[in-house]
């Protein structure tokens, strides 16, 4: 009997083990074949450098051909000892739409931190993406915390209904928060990806080929277009946000990583409700909006402000976060004892009407460049008031930092025009207009100059960001507009700080027209991020031409440490040593230059002069 019982148990064990082994072997096979996509949050873009995985959005979007991407911020794989590392989580307003990536409030923060704390290695990594919400942010949190951040900043909540996996989105897995998060956790398995793709393929073969949805991502994401105020689905969106945000804050709290979460702002004064209908005892949103304007004209600002907020809350198309999202943000900040950045109040106070409108918003919720800078300033001041800035005394007084940050902000005319075009494209589709009334592209925008033409091509996706900005830089250089060329190249190296050719191309061109001041600034920035033989060589030569022999010698000796076969470096180092009256050492470096390049005419002449000087010195 005992033997039979053991055999029976063994039989059941083998029965269970066979499918488990099958799936394990199948998973190994799919990984060996590199099936599907990588779900890691970060990937190594260059040895020693990480960026957000370009395929990460595929984890959240399965019905969109072109998935959103982040701002391509990079950071070091190993956090430096003097490093200060900040991660930013959010949706399109976090990413800086429509001026992505340069207008994002994270760029304000990075610029100000770099200016105020030049001895620190500043890393501000913006992970925000268009059309994602708290599900995606929660999914990224563990990976973010593994990177040892000094601070996490969150500006999110507008996409809880129509962002990926939101309760009203076409990318929807239902309203159960635990279930959606469980499904997301399965995405890392190739077997799961294979099964999902197989099911979709079978369903589509029976249902016929589905006609692809056209229009802006905004117009495509809204599946449930009417979500009445305080309806069940409305409440589910709030619950989803609160549960996911609580999980994010709880995880950060466990490992003592501070988080600053911001209130959200949107266009209240100049944005009528998208869908206005009577629901239960609530008035139509457009009626309330009209009343708000009427009361505003009568000078009753406080009452008008409340009605503008109510009109937004009654709007059944929930692209703007309802007021309960901000209430939830404030409640959770207090519950977890994390600082609150009140961006809503800051933008409201800065608005000309004291009610946020078109002066600070480009559309229904995306700020203007000035609006984004106000949000960045609000976060920075919150960091300062809660002692979350880098340790040590800043190089610039606090009161002067904001002004200097704006003066050094990387933003070009191309970015400004591109943003305006993207808003035109956005507003030329539902829900801003009836799709039947869409204007053809040729009537929507007519380029008037070269910058307009570049911006138009970039906005339509005909050229990429780097191509557009490189062409703009070349345009300025060819017209001898060297300051504009420098500022454009500074913008490029700020966006792609670990690509040596951008620094080198800029420095070479600027040196060729004797704009050593601009070349020095470009190369100095390179030295802080990716020092190499080129940067040290030309900084040495520039300082030599400026008459600073000591600094010239320092950089030229560094250049030799990177590469010791450049005769020009040895020749110029000899010149620097002559400037400090080290004639014997200078002669030794001239000889090294001639060993590498025997026919180096200038080095031969210098050698004769130095030999004469050294000879006289020895006689004396």
Largest CA distance in the chain: 112
Tell me, what's the pLDDT at 34?
Answer: 84
CB contact at 8 A, 352 and 359: yes
Q: By mean pLDDT, which of 12-21, 181-190, 399-408 is the weakest?
A: 12-21
pLDDT band for 619, please (50, 70, 90 cuts): confident
Give backbone dihedrals phi and psi of 222, rounded to 5 degrees, phi first: -80, 100
Q: Residue 4's pLDDT band (boundaries 50, 70, 90)? A: low
Residue 57: Cβ within 10 Å count: 22
SS3 assignment for 5-19:
HHHHHHHHHHHHHHH
Q: What is the dihedral of CA 339, 344, 349, 354, to 10 degrees?
A: -160
Structure tokens at 483: 């300051």
Average of per-residue pLDDT values in the chain: 93
Instruction: Report the half-sphere exposure of 348 (CA within 13 A, side-chain side).
Output: 16
Per-residue model confidence as pLDDT tens digits over 89-125: 999 999 999 999 999 999 999 999 999 999 999 999 9
Per-residue pLDDT at 212 exceeds 60: no
Class of domain 42-262+365-407: alpha beta
Mean pLDDT of 127-133: 96
- Which tokens hold the place of 5? 């019982």
| Other Cβ atoms closer than 10 A to 342 | 18
Separation of alpha carbons 347 and 351, rounded Å: 6
Give me the helices (H) in 45-130, please: 92-95, 105-116
Work out the number of other CB atoms within 10 angstroms of the CB of residue 179: 11
Six-digit token string for 26: 């199948």
Instruction: Delimit the domains of the chain by residue range.
Output: 42-262+365-407
Angle between helices 2-32 and 190-207 (to 10 degrees): 80
Q: Which two tokens stand for residue 111?
A: 């610029």
Tokens describing residue 247: 């999980």
Q: Tokens at residue 266, please?
A: 């949107």
pTM of the model: 0.93
Nearest one of 255, 253, 399, 405 to 339, comparing CA atoms? 253
- Give yes or no for residue 213 having a pLDDT over 90: no
Amino acid 19: pLDDT: 73
What average pLDDT does this structure show over 551-555? 97
Long-range contacts of 321-328 (CB under 8 A, 24+ apart): 321/157, 321/158, 321/160, 321/264, 321/266, 321/365, 322/229, 322/234, 322/238, 324/238, 325/157, 325/158, 325/160, 325/238, 325/241, 325/264, 326/157, 326/263, 326/264, 328/157, 328/238, 328/241, 328/242, 328/245
**pLDDT for the residue numbered 201:** 78
- Alpha carbons 503 and 515: distance in angstroms, whole number: 14
Q: What is the pLDDT of residues 248-301, one digit of tens each?
A: 999 999 999 999 999 999 999 999 999 999 999 999 999 999 999 999 999 999
CA–CA dist 438, 443 (Å, integer): 10
DSSP state of 222: B
Measuring CA to CA, which residue among 232, 140, 240 is closest to residue 187? Answer: 140
Mean pLDDT of the 61-79 span = 92
The 10s digit of each residue's pLDDT in 323-353 is: 999 999 999 999 999 999 999 999 999 998 8
> End-to-end distance of the chain based on CA atoms, in angstroms?
112
pLDDT of 203 reads 72
Residue 593 near residue 570 (C-beta atoms within 8 A): yes
User: What is the distance between the alpha carbons of residues 589 and 327, in angstroms, rounded to a whole number?
Assistant: 69
- CA 323 – CA 153 distance, rounded (Å): 20
Quick one: which of 549, 555, 487, 550 has its CA closest to 522? 487
CA 187 to chain centre: 24
**Selection from 225, 222, 220, 224 nearest residue 210 by Cα:** 220
Higher pLDDT, 190 or 368: 368
Query: In 10 A of CB 211, how many CB atoms?
Result: 6
- Can you list the alpha helix ranges (DSSP code H) found in 96-211? 105-116, 134-146, 177-186, 190-207
């Amino acid at each position: 009997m005992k033997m039979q019982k053991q055999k029976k148990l063994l039989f059941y064990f083998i029965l269970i083990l066979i499918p488990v082994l099958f799936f394990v072997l199948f998973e190994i096979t799919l990984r060996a074949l590199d099936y599907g996509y990588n779900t890691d949050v970060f990937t190594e873009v260059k040895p020693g450098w990480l960026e957000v995985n370009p395929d990460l959005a595929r984890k959240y979007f399965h019905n969109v051909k072109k998935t959103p991407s982040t701002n391509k911020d990079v950071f070091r794989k190993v956090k430096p000892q003097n490093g200060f590392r900040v991660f930013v989580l959010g949706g399109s307003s976090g990413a800086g739409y429509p001026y992505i990536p340069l207008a994002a409030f994270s760029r304000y923060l990075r610029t100000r931190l770099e200016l105020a704390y030049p001895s620190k290695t500043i890393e501000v990594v913006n992970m925000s993406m268009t059309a994602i919400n708290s599900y995606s942010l929660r999914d990224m949190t563990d990976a973010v915390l593994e990177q040892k951040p000094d601070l996490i900043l969150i500006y999110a909540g507008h996409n809880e209904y129509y962002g990926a996996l939101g309760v009203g989105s076409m990318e929807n897995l239902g309203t159960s928060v635990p279930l959606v998060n469980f499904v997301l956790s399965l995405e890392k398995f190739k077997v799961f990806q294979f099964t999902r793709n197989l099911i979709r393929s079978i369903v589509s073969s029976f249902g016929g080929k589905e006609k692809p949805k056209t229009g802006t991502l905004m117009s495509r994401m809204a599946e449930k277009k009417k979500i009445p105020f305080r309806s069940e689905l409305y409440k589910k969106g709030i619950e989803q946000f609160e549960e996911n945000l609580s999980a994010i804050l709880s995880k950060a709290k466990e490992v003592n990583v501070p988080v600053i979460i911001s209130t959200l702002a949107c266009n209240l004064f100049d944005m009528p409700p998208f869908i206005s209908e009577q629901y239960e005892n609530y008035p139509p949103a457009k009626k309330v909006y009209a009343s708000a304007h009427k009361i505003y004209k009568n000078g009753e600002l406080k009452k008008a402000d409340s009605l503008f907020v109510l009109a937004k809350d009654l709007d059944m198309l929930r692209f703007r976060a309802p007021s309960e999202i901000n209430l939830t943000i404030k409640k959770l900040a207090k519950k977890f004892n994390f600082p609150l950045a009140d961006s809503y109040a800051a933008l409201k106070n800065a608005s000309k009407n004291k009610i946020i409108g078109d002066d600070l918003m480009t559309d229904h919720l995306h700020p203007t460049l000035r609006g984004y800078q106000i949000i960045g300033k609000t976060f920075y001041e919150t960091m300062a008031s809660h002692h979350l800035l880098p340790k040590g005394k800043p190089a610039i007084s606090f009161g002067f930092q904001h002004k200097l940050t704006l003066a050094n902000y990387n933003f070009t005319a191309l970015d400004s025009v591109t943003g305006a075009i993207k808003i035109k494209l956005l507003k030329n589709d539902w829900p801003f207009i009836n799709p039947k009334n869409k204007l053809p592209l040729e009537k929507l925008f007519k380029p008037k100059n070269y910058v307009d033409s570049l911006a138009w091509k970039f906005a339509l996706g005909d050229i990429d960001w780097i191509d557009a900005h490189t062409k703009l830089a070349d345009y300025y250089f060819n017209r001898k507009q060297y300051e504009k060329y420098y500022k454009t190249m500074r913008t490029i190296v700020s966006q792609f700080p670990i690509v040596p050719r951008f620094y080198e191309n800029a420095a070479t061109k600027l040196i060729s027209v004797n704009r050593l001041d601009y070349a020095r600034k470009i190369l100095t920035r390179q030295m802080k991020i990716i020092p190499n033989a080129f940067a040290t060589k030309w900084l040495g030569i520039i300082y030599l031409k400026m008459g600073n022999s000591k600094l010239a010698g320092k950089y030229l000796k560094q250049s030799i440490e990177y590469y010791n076969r450049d005769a020009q470096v040895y020749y110029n180092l000899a010149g620097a040593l002559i400037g400090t009256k080290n004639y014997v050492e200078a002669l030794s470096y001239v000889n090294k230059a001639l060993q590498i390049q025997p026919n180096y005419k200038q080095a031969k002449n210098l050698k004769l002069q130095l030999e004469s000087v050294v000879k006289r010195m020895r006689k004396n």
